[in-house]
Amino acid sequence: MSLKNLREALKQQSDPKQAKILSRFFKTGKGEYGEGDKFLGIKVPVSRQIAKQFKDLSLKEIQELLYSQIHEERLIALFILTEQYRKGDEEKKKIIFNFYIKNTKRVNNWDLVDLSAERTIGAYLLDRDKQILLDLARSKNLWERRIAVMSTFHFIKNGIYDITLEISDILLGDKHDLIHKAVGWMLREIGKRNLNTEESYLKKHYKIMPRTMLRYAIEKFPEKKRLSYLKGEV
Question: What integer pLDDT is reported at residue 223 of this predicted model?
Answer: 96
Across 38-46, average pLDDT: 96
Contact yes or no for 182/150 (Cβ under 8 A): yes
Distance CA 221, CA 214 (A): 11
Give 101's pLDDT tier (boundaries 50, 70, 90).
Answer: very high
Q: pLDDT tens digits for 9-30?
A: 999 999 999 999 999 999 998 9
Question: What integer pLDDT is reported at residue 79 of this predicted model?
Answer: 98
Question: What integer pLDDT is reported at residue 21 of this predicted model?
Answer: 94
Question: What integer pLDDT is reported at residue 73 of this predicted model?
Answer: 97
Give 234's pLDDT tier (boundaries 50, 70, 90).
Answer: confident
Across 107-125, average pLDDT: 98
Burial 105-128 (b: 16+ CB within 10 A, else e): ebbbbbbbbbbbbbbbbbbbbeee
pTM: 0.95
Q: pLDDT tens digits for 202-229?
A: 999 999 999 999 999 999 999 999 999 9
Phi-psi domain of 136 (left: phi exceeds 0; alpha: psi -120 through 50; beta: other): alpha
Q: pLDDT tens digits for 128-176?
A: 999 999 999 999 999 999 999 999 999 999 999 999 999 999 999 999 9
Residues in contact with 189: Cβ distance below 8 Å, sequence separation at least 6, in sequence order: 153, 156
